[in-house]
């Protein structure tokens, strides 16, 4: 995605890409898209708050048990990604996490608008996440195949691997990131004028052909 290449100095930059694993149309069933729309609503909330627009929901037994969005600018904390925000909420709630167990997310599925970064992908594996669905890939930090296959390609002596599938509401996930990066980032140490930038609407097809 050429449009992001000029933004590499931005510390909260996400370089989007096509997911390495593209779901076939028949696999994009309504329930996955329904949950991803909820995640997208959280990304919209992040955009409105001046954050890199990434949102997520965690689903257990066909119900959303936590929803969150990026809060890295607000909290000035680079670890405050949507996934970790939601995980903190789940682990702190005695109804959602009644006992201490090795893998408290073993019956929980994550829907997130952008491929989890390496940090989040590792946390998800350590907590035994059941499965992950995401929108667009992340060529700079992606931990589910784009940079490192933390979810399953890397061997680990005990933590079980998990499947991560991209491509759900991919175009929307890309466009909301573009909308963020085209506006002024007032949280940057030296805000750069982006007044002359034009919002690109062309989305290239996935390179991956199943
Ligand atoms: Zn992350």
What are the structure tokens assigned to 119, written together? 């940090």
- How many whole angstroms from 114 Cα to the centroid of ligand 1? 9
Q: Which of the two residues, 209 and 77, has the higher pLDDT score?
A: 77
Q: Is 113 a residue whose pLDDT tops 80? A: yes
Check pLDDT > 60 for residue 4: no
Task: Give residue 84 CA to ligand 1 midpoint distance, Å.
Answer: 7
pLDDT at 203: 76
Per residue in 9-50, pLDDT tens?
344 457 666 555 555 555 568 899 999 999 999 999 999 999
For residue 81, report the distance from its CA to the centre of ligand 1, in Å: 5
Rounded to the nearest 5°, which phi and psi values hold at 208? -75, 130
Ligand 1 centroid from CA 196, angstroms: 30
Provide the pLDDT for residue 10.
Answer: 42
How far, CA to CA in Å, does 136 sit from each of 23, 64, 80, 87, 146? 12, 21, 20, 21, 10
| 83 is a catalytic site residue | yes
Lowest-confidence region among 6-10, 44-48, 93-97: 6-10
Query: Which CB contacts under 8 angstroms, 24+ apart, belong to 48-53?
Result: 49/73, 49/74, 50/185, 50/186, 50/187, 52/12, 52/14, 52/177, 52/180, 53/113, 53/176, 53/177, 53/179, 53/180
Assign 175 to helix, strand or coil: helix
Instruction: State the catalytic residue, choosing from 15, 51, 83, 85.
Output: 83
Model confidence pLDDT, tens digit, residues 130-169:
999 999 999 999 999 999 999 999 999 999 999 999 999 9
């Amino acid at each position: 995605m050429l449009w992001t290449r000029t933004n590499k100095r931005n510390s909260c930059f996400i370089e989007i890409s096509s997911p390495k694993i593209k779901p076939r149309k028949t696999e994009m069933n309504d329930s996955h898209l329904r949950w991803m729309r909820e995640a997208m609503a959280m990304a919209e909330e992040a955009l409105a708050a001046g954050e890199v627009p990434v949102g997520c929901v965690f689903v257990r037994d066909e119900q959303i048990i936590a929803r969150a969005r990026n809060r890295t600018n607000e909290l000035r904390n680079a670890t405050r990604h949507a996934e970790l925000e939601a995980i903190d909420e789940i682990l702190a709630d005695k109804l959602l996490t009644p006992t201490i167990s090795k893998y408290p997310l073993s019956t929980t599925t994550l829907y997130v608008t952008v491929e989890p970064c390496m940090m989040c992908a590792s946390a998800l594996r350590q907590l035994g996440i059941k499965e992950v669905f995401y929108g667009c890939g992340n060529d700079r930090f992606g931990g589910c195949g784009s940079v490192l296959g933390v979810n399953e390609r890397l061997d680990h002596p005990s933590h079980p691997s998990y499947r991560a599938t991209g491509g759900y509401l991919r175009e929307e996930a890309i466009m909301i990131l573009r909308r963020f990066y085209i506006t002024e980032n007032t949280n940057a140490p030296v805000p750069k004028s982006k007044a002359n930038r034009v919002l690109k609407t062309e989305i290239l097809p996935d390179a991956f052909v199943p």
